[in-house]
Structure 1
Amino acid sequence: MDGLSGAASVIAVVDISAKIVSLCFQYSTAVKDAKDDIERVQRKVGDITHVLEKIKQLLDGQDKARLSTTQGLFSSLEQCREELKSLEAKLDPGKARKTISRFGFHALKWPFTSKQVDKIVLNLERYEQTFSSALQVDQIVAIFSIDQKLDLAKLPVAIGASFNSHNEEHNARCLPNTRTELLDEITTWANNKDGKSIFWLSGMAGTGKSTIARTVAQSFASRGQLGASFFFKKGEGERGNASRFFTTIATDLAACELGMLVGIKKALDEDSAISQRALKHQFEKLILQPLLGIQQARSQVSARVVVIDALDECEQEADIRAILKLLAQTKDIRPVPLRIVVTSRPELHIRFGSKEMSNGTYQDLVLHEVLRSTIEHDIRLFLEHELGIIRKERMLASDWPAQQHILALVELAVPLFIYAATVCRY
C-alpha cells in the first residue's frame, strides 16, 4: 500500500465513520430507550476516526516511505470499511429514510439489541487496537528518522535516584512473609481501575518507609508495571532537591512508554532548555502532554506505577507543594493511567490536606498505626533472619540467641524497624 492509496483508504473509512456518527446522533434524538447503546456505538466509531486522522497525518508527511507498519494496514482498513458499510446500511436503509421523511425522527427504531451492540463494539475495538498499535510504532519510526533523532540525554537525570541504582543496591528490601498485608494493599490499589491516583505511605523515622518503597518498586518492575522511581535523600545533591525530579521521571517513563517520545521530542524541539524551566512547565510538557498523546487501546493497558520515596527530604518546601499539586493532575490521565506511591514522614499531612489534594485524589496508610501484633510479627521475623546470619558467620551455638531474648528485643523495637536493624548491625 503506497502513501497515496493508504491515505485514500483512510479517508474512505473516515467518511463512512462520519456518516455513522451523524446517524447515531439522529437516533439519540429520536430513540430514548437505547440511549446507552447508541452512545457506545457513536463513541467507538469516533475513537477509530480519531486514530485514523492521526495515521493520515503520518502518511501525508515526509517519512511516509519509512512507515512500514501503517503501510501494511490495507487489509485491516478494507475489512473495517466493509464492517462500517454494513453498520451504516442497518442504521440508514432506504426504508428508514422514507420513515424519517413521512413521520419524522420519532418513528425511528434502534435496530440492535444490547448484545448485538456488545459484538459491534468489540469488533470495532479490535480495529481500533490494530490501528493504534500501528500508529504508535510508526510514530517512533518517524521520530528516529536519520535527520530527526530524539536525544533523551538532553534531559538531565538525578544520578542514584532510581530504586535499582548502584546507590540503592545494598539497601534493604522487605523479607519474605513480612509487610504482606501492606504490600497486598498497594498491589490491589494499583490495579484497581477506579482507585485513587496516589497512595501516601507515611510513618515516623525508622518505621521502614524506604525499605517498603524499594520492595514496592522492585515488585512492580518484576511485573513490567513500574514506570519510574525517585528516592529523595537530603544532602545528596540532585537527590536532595527537585531540579531533576520531573526530567528523571519523564526519562524513566519514556523508556517503557515509547509513545511518550512523540510529545517529548516536540517539547525539546520547542525549548531545548526545558529542564531549566519551572516545575509546572516541565511536568506539563514532559509528562502530562506526552502521556495524554499516546495512542493505545485502553482495554489493554495496566497502570504505570511511579514510586517516590522520602518526598519530605526535598530541600525546598515550595517545591514539595508544587510537586504534590502537579501529581494531583495525574488522576485524569488516559489511556495510560498512573498510580503514584509517595512515602514521607507524617508532617507532610499539611500539604496532603491542601485544596489540590482534598478531592479524593489519594488514599493513605500510617505505618506506626498498623496493628501492633502485625509489627511485632514482622520485626520478630527480621531479627530471627539477621541474627541467624550472625550465628552462622560467627559459628555460635545453634540455640543462640535464646527465644526470650529475641522477644525482648521485639518489645524494645516496636514500631521502629531501624532499632532492630541497628541492634543486628552493632
Structure 2
Amino acid sequence: MFSVSGIQWRKKWPIAPNLEVAINVDGIPMAQTHRKRDFVPMWNSLLPLSAEGPTSVIGLHLVRHHTVGKPNTCAKGEIEIHQLLEMCGQGLDSKDVPIPLNAVGKDLEASPGLALIVRLARIGRDQVIEIAIADAVEDSAVLGSVPTSDLRRVTGFALQNSDSNLVSSLEGLLKILTSRLDVVVKIGGVIAKIHPFAELAYNVLTSVYDVVKKQQNTDQSIVQLVNTMVDVYSFTKDVNSLPDIERIEGVVSVIVQETARCALFIREYTAHGFAARLVGQIISQDTQTIQDFMAAFDKHKQSLDWALGVHIAFTINNARDIAQCSLEVAKDTQQLEILKNLNPVKMNSNRDGCLPGTRRDILSLIITELTKPVSANSQNVFWLYGVAGAGKSTIATSICQTFNALGLLGASLFFTRSNEASSPSFVIRTIAYSLAKSNTQMASEICLVMHRHPHIIDASIEDQFQRLLLEPLMNHARDHIRGPTIIILDALDECGDLESRRRLISLISNRFTTLPLLRILITSRPDLDIAAAFRKQSSIVKMPLDIATPSSLEDIRLYIDAEMMDVRQMHFSWDLDPTWPGEEKINALGTLAAGLFIWASTATKYLRNAHDPNDALDHLLKKGSDLDALYAVALQVQNSGKTGHLQSGLKLV
C-alpha cells in the first residue's frame, strides 16, 4: 500500500493531477505504480524489489503526468535498504513506514511533513517471482505492440535477481499459467466447445506443477516454453471486460487445444527426470518439439492480438518449410500406396457428439483416464458400458472429436450391427492403417513389416496384432510418438456376433493392455462375453454409464430444450411462442426420457417432423416413456407420408 501525506500544492488545480510513484534501486528503474488521478493519492500496489545488499539505495519519485508535454517529478527521496528495515522493526511482518520526500519543481510547496507512506511486508522468493511475472503480463497487455519483449525483460530480471533455483522459477510460471487456465475453464459455459481442452490442460499442468516442486534440477528450455504460454494467456486478465467474448472464440479454442497438447508433452518430458536430461540424454526431437511449440504459441499470440484489435506487422520466410513439406508429402504418398494393401474399412464417424455443455462429468473422467501418465502399472483400456440408448456412442463421438482436434487420435472404429465393415477380421489392420496415417515413423515400420510379410492381411488377427501393432510400437516407432495415442472402439457388442468376435475379445482383454503409449476407449452394452472377458483384468478401467444420476437427467433436459429451437424453426408457420412448449412440458419430456438419450432424440425428431407440433406433443406426453410405443408413433407418422425419414433416429446407441 502506497500513499502520500503532507502534500501542499502551490496553486489550486481545476482537476486532480495524474500521479504515479516510480521506484529505482541503485539508479536502476525497478517498478512503478499505476497512474492515480487524485490530490492525495493512494495506491493498492504490491511491488517486490531486489537489491545487491543492505546498503543498496531505493529511490522514490512522485511523478505528475500532463495532458500535453512530458511528465515531471514533484517530489523525491532516497533511503537505504537497512534503514528501511530498521524503520520497519525487527520481527514485524508488516508495518506502515513514512519515507521523507523533498518537494522539487514548481508543483509542490516544501513541507517537512511530506512523506511516502509504505506498508513493508516480507514475502518468499517464489512469491517475488510470481508477482514479477504477473506484473510483466499486465504490462504486456498495456503495451500491446511489444508484449513479448516486455515480458522477457521483466521476467528475466526476476529470474536473475532471485536466489531461488530454476525449479522455483518454473513453479512460479506454472502457478501463473494454471491460474490463467482456471479463468478459461470457468468461461466454458460461454464457450462450451473449448471446455474439455481447457480442463485437460489445467489438470495436466497441475500434475506437472506437483512433480516440479519435488525436482531439484531442470533446464532453461522448459522454462522458456512455459514462459511463452504465460504470455499468450495475458488476455485472461481482461476477459470479464471483453464486450463480446464470442468474437475471439475461434482463436481461444486453437490456443487452448495447443496448450493441452503442450501440457501432455511437458508432463511426459518431466516424467523422465530433469537430472538425466542435463547429462546429455535430451534427444534432438525434444529440442525441436519445444521450438515448434514456442513458434506455435508466438503465432497464436499474434492471431489473438489481431482478434483483439492489436495489429502487429510481421512477415514469415517459409520457403525452407515449404520445400521440406514437399519432400514429406512425397514420402507419405509412397507409403500410403503400400498401406492401402491392408484393405482397411472406413466406418461412418460423421455423427454428432454431445451437446456443448452436457455430459461434462463423464467426458472429464474419460479424458483424465485416457491422458494419465504411462507407468508400469498404468491402466490403458477404458471400458464404458451401459444400456441401449444411454448415449455411449455420442460420448465416444465427443471423445473422438476432442482427441482428433489435439492430434492424438490414432484410430476410431464405430461398429454397426449387420454391417460388413463391422467384422472382427478388419479391426487390427484398420487400427494399424489409421496409426500409420497419423505417424510417419509408424508408417515406415508397418510398411517394412508388409514388405517382409506380404500375406499379413490373410494371417490370423493374433499374428496381425503381433506384427502390425506390437512389434512396431515396441521398436523404433515408440520413440517418435508424443503423448498418449487414443484408439476408440465404439459399440463393440455390434462387432460381429458372439462366435466371430470371440478371439477379438480375448485379444483385447489379454494383449491390448501390453501396447505401449496407446490408450483404448471401448464402449458397449454389458453383453455377457465382453463382461466375462473384462471383469478380472486389472489393467482395464470399468465404468458403468449411470443414466439415473442428477447430472444425466439435467443433461437430457438441456438437450430437449436445445432441440426445441429446431422444432420451433421447422414449424414457423404455426407462430409458436419463443419459449414453446414451456418449461413444465420440457421437464415432463425429460422425466419421460428417464435418462435415455435415444428416447429424447427420437421424441424431438418426431416433433420436428410432425404435421401439428401441438397435437404431436400432446400425443407424445400421453404415450409416456415406453420406447416401443414411441417408435410405433414415429413409424405411423412416417408411413402416413407427413414426415421425412426417421430411421436415423431409431438406432439404439
TM-score range, shorter chain: 0.5 to 0.7
Say if 2:366 is the partner of 1:186.
yes
Q: Indicate the RMSD between aligned Cα atoms, in angstroms.
A: 3.0
Query: Which of 546, 553, 569 is residue 376 of structure 1 equivalent to?
Result: 553
Q: Any idea what the Cα deviations from partners look like across 1:248-276, whole Å, max 9, x if unmatched?
A: 11111011122222331232123322112
- Aligned-partner Cα distance in 2 for 1:387–1:145: 46
Q: Any idea what the Cα deviations from partners look like across 1:285-307, whole Å, max 9, x if unmatched?
A: 11111111135558x82110000
Residue of structure 2 equivalent to 1:346:
526
Residue of structure 2 equivalent to 1:333:
515
- Aligned-partner Cα distance in 2 for 1:145–1:342: 30
Say if 2:395 is the partner of 1:212.
yes
Contact 2:332/2:440, CA 8 A, preserved across alignment = no
Q: 1:276/1:384 Cα in 2 relative to 1: closer, same or farther (>3 Å)? A: same
Higher helix fraction (1 or 2) = 1
- Aligned-partner Cα distance in 1 for 2:369–2:421: 30
Query: Which of 122, 126, 130 is residue 282 of structure 2 equivalent to?
Result: 126
Contact 1:201/1:343, CA 8 A, preserved across alignment = yes
Contact 2:390/2:547, CA 8 A, preserved across alignment = no
SS in structure 2 of the partner of residue 234 of structure 1: coil
Residue of structure 2 equivalent to 1:413:
593
Say if 2:489 is the partner of 1:302.
no
Q: Any idea what the Cα deviations from partners look like across 1:372-425, whole Å, max 9, x if unmatched?
A: 211111100100010111112322212310211111111110121111111111
SS in structure 2 of the partner of residue 317 of structure 1: coil
Residue of structure 2 equivalent to 1:266:
448
Give the aligned residue type for 2:281: E
Give the aligned residue type for 1:286: L
Structure 1: runs of 5+ lacking an equivalent: 1-116, 162-166
Contact 1:210/1:343, CA 8 A, preserved across alignment = yes
Give the aligned residue type for 1:125: Q
Say if 2:315 is the partner of 1:315.
no
Which runs of structure 2 are paired with 1:12-411 in the superposition (5 Å)?
119-127=275-283, 129=285, 151-159=338-346, 161=347, 167-169=348-350, 171-193=351-373, 194=375, 195-239=378-422, 241-295=423-477, 297=479, 301-327=482-508, 328-334=510-516, 337-348=517-528, 350-354=529-533, 358-367=536-545, 369-395=546-572, 396-411=576-591
Quick check: 266-275 or 120-129, which moved more?
120-129
Residue of structure 2 equivalent to 1:62:
none
Q: CA deviation at 1:331?
A: 3.0
Quick check: 214-223 or 356-365, which moved more?
356-365
Q: 1:122/1:324 Cα in 2 relative to 1: closer, same or farther (>3 Å)? A: farther
- Aligned-partner Cα distance in 2 for 1:147–1:411: 56
Higher strand fraction (1 or 2) = 2
Q: CA deviation at 1:177?
A: 1.0
- Aligned-partner Cα distance in 2 for 1:303–1:230: 18
Contact 1:261/1:290, CA 8 A, preserved across alignment = no
- Aligned-partner Cα distance in 2 for 1:290–1:264: 7
Q: CA deviation at 1:124?
A: 2.3
Aligned residues: 290
SS in structure 2 of the partner of residue 176 of structure 1: coil
Q: 1:199/1:145 Cα in 2 relative to 1: closer, same or farther (>3 Å)? A: closer
Q: 1:375/1:132 Cα in 2 relative to 1: closer, same or farther (>3 Å)? A: closer
Q: Which has the higher contact order (CA 8 A, sep 6+)?
A: 1
Q: 1:127/1:416 Cα in 2 relative to 1: closer, same or farther (>3 Å)? A: closer
Contact 1:304/1:339, CA 8 A, preserved across alignment = yes
TM, length-normalised to structure 1:
0.62
Give the aligned residue type for 1:406: I
- Aligned-partner Cα distance in 2 for 1:130–1:269: 31
Contact 1:200/1:362, CA 8 A, preserved across alignment = yes
Q: CA deviation at 1:132?
A: 12
Q: CA deviation at 1:146?
A: 12
Q: 1:403/1:281 Cα in 2 relative to 1: closer, same or farther (>3 Å)? A: same
Q: 1:128/1:322 Cα in 2 relative to 1: closer, same or farther (>3 Å)? A: farther
Quick check: 252-261 or 217-226, which moved more?
252-261
Contact 1:352/1:358, CA 8 A, preserved across alignment = no
Q: 1:147/1:127 Cα in 2 relative to 1: closer, same or farther (>3 Å)? A: closer
Contact 2:335/2:447, CA 8 A, preserved across alignment = no
- Aligned-partner Cα distance in 2 for 1:347–1:125: 48
Give the aligned residue type for 1:340: I
Q: 1:120/1:199 Cα in 2 relative to 1: closer, same or farther (>3 Å)? A: closer
Q: 1:146/1:212 Cα in 2 relative to 1: closer, same or farther (>3 Å)? A: closer
- Aligned-partner Cα distance in 2 for 1:284–1:319: 20
Give the aligned residue type for 1:362: I
Contact 2:335/2:443, CA 8 A, preserved across alignment = no
Contact 1:324/1:352, CA 8 A, preserved across alignment = no
Q: CA deviation at 1:371?
A: 4.6
Give the aligned residue type for 1:265: C
Contact 2:547/2:596, CA 8 A, preserved across alignment = no
Q: CA deviation at 1:319?
A: 4.1
Q: Any idea what the Cα deviations from partners look like across 1:173-224, whole Å, max 9, x if unmatched?
A: 1001111011001111111114411110111111111111111101110111
SS in structure 2 of the partner of residue 192 of structure 1: coil
Residue of structure 1 equivalent to 2:256:
none
Contact 2:547/2:594, CA 8 A, preserved across alignment = no
TM, length-normalised to structure 2:
0.41
Q: 1:120/1:269 Cα in 2 relative to 1: closer, same or farther (>3 Å)? A: closer
Q: 1:278/1:318 Cα in 2 relative to 1: closer, same or farther (>3 Å)? A: farther
Q: 1:198/1:232 Cα in 2 relative to 1: closer, same or farther (>3 Å)? A: same
- Aligned-partner Cα distance in 2 for 1:398–1:262: 57
Q: Any idea what the Cα deviations from partners look like across 1:5-46, whole Å, max 9, x if unmatched?
A: xxxxxxxxxxxxxxxxxxxxxxxxxxxxxxxxxxxxxxxxxx
SS in structure 1 of the partner of residue 440 of structure 2: coil
Residue of structure 1 equivalent to 2:604:
424
